[in-house]
Structure 1
């Protein structure tokens, strides 16, 4: 989601990563040294053949999907189609007139992260996907007019997560309806709480005096999977759903609540728990990573507080050589941080039940990137260093609820909006830093080694590799690529891409062959304008981690974000999500003109743009991307 990012950490004081040699900083700001400096560049061209075998597609501004020659696409599971609940399969109404109860049985709006969980090899499985947010002007026939409790209920029902069953037959994929696996998880679904913050006073409310049962999840952005077969959904820009109190306290301000501002969707007008003045602890109950067992529709999702509270985007899980779980997470907000969680216990055979509390015990750390290409993980552990009661942290639960404040005190590196993470076959961990157009301006951090560009409109992909194993305290790091357009007038916007230009990297996925797939999220307010004028619509690109080569694989329709990537075990089918086609460029959509900016995917004269899942295959049946 590339709206104006939250920025609750604008303090100008330097962190350790900013204390660098003046001459090197000057070179970094202009990107001059990056192509040649070994500590900040992609690896030299490898002797092995490229992993990428397709002819790249050109930049496009069309209201369609472009893929390379020899590839086919199929649209499935658009917003409003029934998920397949037995006895509840309401059809989508083209005027957006479905009720709240009907929406609760349909796919939600604005598809984001997703994963394919196999049921029968590469022929059938479960697609689990997030629904990040809604556009009220497209969700209802008359948009925001006459805002009422029913509209709040439908808006909440269009958020969350969908589980659908899909099956391939004759080269086409279809959603199985009805399916015993089908499920909707919304902003009204009961959630359990696990980990050190479960039951904490900061999570207690009048409706939940024990702080152990939270209603709902929303603004679900990127996602992850675990080695034991569960889905991790990440609560990102949750703070915008809450109406600020008249005078927010320091904790509330640090998390983005500002006096005089209005909640994005007006839920508080008909669901008072979203009024932070009346219910100051309710925002503390969001911003967590939620674990879902997709194979058990009766299971209760669990908010895993040991992974810390943040505007979470992404939760990539790997295992250490001794069998413990490691989760890498970004926080999509300006000047926020990158996190890592290492479980205390080993992963057990037996799936979700055998590992039901694995993510409740372990150590959360925050990253510090030093100027010499080295870095360290700084543990967020109560009683260590400044994380004491004297500094406002009564216990480990409070450290986790106030992870931002704890990271501030530890001197972590403020990053340019860390979003998705991914791990390649050689153990390098990648994170997309989408942009930070205010870096280096008044009141904002100066460029530093990890975030080298002032007014960073294009973003970059940073990567690191721990010493020893994924639980190592120290790591080495470099920039895999600085995004940009070589034709840009401003040097800081040109980047150092080896191949096709792109801006604002967001989604990341490493497929079974080792290809790093990069998805972009330029805001509709900048697409086709200024420094982004030559980049067209948002796109998906394939990168070879060994050589750094980048090729444009797909371009999406007008106004959309390309997000979410997964595939079948045989690598011959890829699924991605097309989110918010027709997003208005810097303005609201007009309910009377729903097709003004896009009519993808249906192109009906009485239709409206709908987020949907795209199935991508090679016509000859070969592996996608080869």
Structure 2
């Protein structure tokens, strides 16, 4: 694809000249303050695609946020959303452009879902999970299709299979997809989902009918889950060959000879990064490696694939000296397969630095770029560099932004590459409103203004950015605005904002948006 700007006009203007600089920020000091409403980057138009309570099926009950039911939670767009994948279904005879959007739905906090803050576990279990939504392009805009062919929910009630070497120990079936933090489309047409730490969900759902209180059920969560979103009857499969660990994100690609490769990160303030290289095209056998600091980057050290090592993957990685990153999160791979990007959210508890974690006592975060020699995702060594060190460039130590940057950020969490090769960074400060707004930011990855940062979208107060995905044909970026109004002290009755409606009789709603130029 010929490189062309998908970015806002302001960022396009940054491509002219300038020497490499650190901590460069030329924007006004008040542009990124959290507010009741959102803020759209120059050159973009924003539309609402879907939001919490929106109908997914034509027979779904209306959204009544003051009295949520299991039926509502099962048939409406859920409370929280992170973009996992955007796929193109086969072209229909009517010629209408269509997409299938897959979102992970990680959280359902009682304080924000229920008027009195009293938990309703049956509702919460259906609010979390995964959502598949059909989109179609009509009259120059993307809209949801209520009751679309692929539209479905995966949640605590979804039957799943398990496959691979640990099936004999953990079992071959399990009820539920829990604590999904992220996901990735695969080159072979499926979607991978990253289950995180399900322990809090197992405790919360313990009194429900699916046996979550049984001790043996714990080992059936924390896996990479694969399903076909284009087939509404497909059964999700949990792949034990990729090990069991709380994951923050997952990314799929292939080697040049067609073997499947999966990168994933540990969901922890002090977490590791792993790689699975399949023996063939399936994910039932292969080799897991952990990233270990070495030379000018990382070396991939192979791990044992016996069942105890797979089930206890965290300990297995620590034993061989896996590199500890500061809250590793989102992953993104350049279109040519030559660069892998990792978002690190920061860790204030770090006391010793290294080349890939540059600051002690900082929770601002940074972004790491790995070079894949020969664009080979199975290479044994990846050179690495820091391409962004986050934080307020006026007050934070050691920040690094490219020349001509018009924005700054904290706590990068989600990454995506747009059709022009620019890196989109979604931030998540966990509701902290004291420093800057969360949002979607764009960083140029090549050219004279390499590293230049601008914002495409700033979320309302209490919200986080749940990633981005792109449709090159319509020059559309899709983004997820997570849990607006959910500051640490907020509740259903007293949110920090009631975005997007700003109506006093409506709660704040997680919203899928489109950004077009």
TM-score normalised per structure 1 = 0.74
Give the secondary structure class of the aligned counterpart of 2:104: strand
Displacement of 1:397: 2.1
Report the equivalent of 2:330: 420
1:101 aligns with 2:71: yes
1:68 aligns with 2:67: no
Distance 1:83 1:561 in 2: 23
CA contact (8 A) 1:195 1:306 kept: yes
Cα–Cα, structure 1 residues 364 and 62, in superposed 2: closer, same or farther, change >3 Å?
A: same
Report the equivalent of 1:323: 258
Question: Residues 480-499 of structure 1 correspond to what in structure 2 (within 5 A)?
Answer: 480-488=387-395, 490-492=396-398, 494-498=399-403, 499=405
Give the secondary structure class of the aligned counterpart of 1:306: helix
Report the equivalent of 2:514: 615
Report the equivalent of 1:298: 233
Report the equivalent of 2:308: 398
Question: Residues 421-500 of structure 1 correspond to what in structure 2 (within 5 A)?
Answer: 421-426=331-336, 427-440=338-351, 446-468=352-374, 469-488=376-395, 490-492=396-398, 494-498=399-403, 499=405, 500=407
Report the equivalent of 1:604: 503
Q: Which structure features the higher share of strand residues?
A: 2
Give the secondary structure class of the aligned counterpart of 1:513: coil
Cα–Cα, structure 1 residues 319 and 590, in superposed 2: closer, same or farther, change >3 Å?
A: closer
Report the equivalent of 2:418: 511
Distance 2:5 2:63 in 1: 44
Give the secondary structure class of the aligned counterpart of 1:408: helix
Report the equivalent of 2:19: none
Which of 479, 500, 516 is 1:576 aligned to?
479
Tell me the alpha carbon deviations over residues 303-322 of structure 1, each in whole angstroms, 9 at most, x when there is no partner.
11222222212221122111
Displacement of 1:274: 4.2
Give the secondary structure class of the aligned counterpart of 2:111: helix
Report the equivalent of 2:117: 143
Give the secondary structure class of the aligned counterpart of 2:72: helix
Distance 2:472 2:147 in 1: 24
Which of 51, 70, 73 is 1:78 aligned to?
51
Displacement of 1:451: 1.2
Which of 205, 217, 226 is 2:186 aligned to?
226
Displacement of 1:425: 3.2
Cα–Cα, structure 1 residues 177 and 438, in superposed 2: closer, same or farther, change >3 Å?
A: same
Report the equivalent of 1:559: 462
User: Bigger CA drift: 405-414 or 118-127?
Assistant: 118-127
Question: Residues 152-231 of structure 1 correspond to what in structure 2 (within 5 A)?
Answer: 152-200=121-169, 203=170, 211-231=171-191
Displacement of 1:173: 2.1
In structure 2, stretches of 5+ residues that fail to align are 12-26
Cα–Cα, structure 1 residues 305 and 413, in superposed 2: closer, same or farther, change >3 Å?
A: same
Distance 2:96 2:181 in 1: 26
Distance 1:113 1:309 in 2: 22
Report the equivalent of 1:54: 9
Distance 2:147 2:208 in 1: 33
User: Bigger CA drift: 402-411 or 112-121?
Assistant: 112-121
1:362 aligns with 2:286: yes
Give the secondary structure class of the aligned counterpart of 2:491: coil
Displacement of 1:523: 2.1
Distance 1:49 1:190 in 2: 44
Displacement of 1:465: 2.2
Displacement of 1:378: 0.9
Question: Residues 524-539 of structure 1 correspond to what in structure 2 (within 5 A)?
Answer: 524=431, 526-528=432-434, 533=435, 536-539=436-439
Distance 1:50 1:224 in 2: 24
Distance 2:186 2:384 in 1: 25
CA contact (8 A) 2:227 2:237 kept: yes
Give the secondary structure class of the aligned counterpart of 1:166: strand
Displacement of 1:49: 9.6
Tell me the alpha carbon deviations over residues 388-407 of structure 1, each in whole angstroms, 9 at most, x when there is no partner.
xxxxxxxx222111101111
Give the secondary structure class of the aligned counterpart of 1:398: helix
Tell me the alpha carbon deviations over residues 404-431 of structure 1, each in whole angstroms, 9 at most, x when there is no partner.
1111111111111110111113511111
Give the secondary structure class of the aligned counterpart of 1:359: coil
Displacement of 1:272: 8.3
Cα–Cα, structure 1 residues 122 and 61, in superposed 2: closer, same or farther, change >3 Å?
A: farther
CA contact (8 A) 1:110 1:580 kept: yes
Report the equivalent of 2:17: none
CA contact (8 A) 2:8 2:43 kept: no
Report the equivalent of 2:20: none
Distance 1:574 1:506 in 2: 18
Which of 286, 306, 321 is 2:221 aligned to?
286
Cα–Cα, structure 1 residues 271 and 178, in superposed 2: closer, same or farther, change >3 Å?
A: closer
Which of 270, 282, 285 is 1:335 aligned to?
270
CA contact (8 A) 1:122 1:568 kept: no
Cα–Cα, structure 1 residues 448 and 240, in superposed 2: closer, same or farther, change >3 Å?
A: farther
Report the equivalent of 2:301: 378
TM-score normalised per structure 2 = 0.89
CA contact (8 A) 1:122 1:570 kept: no
Distance 1:496 1:69 in 2: 20
Displacement of 1:433: 0.8
Distance 1:326 1:111 in 2: 26
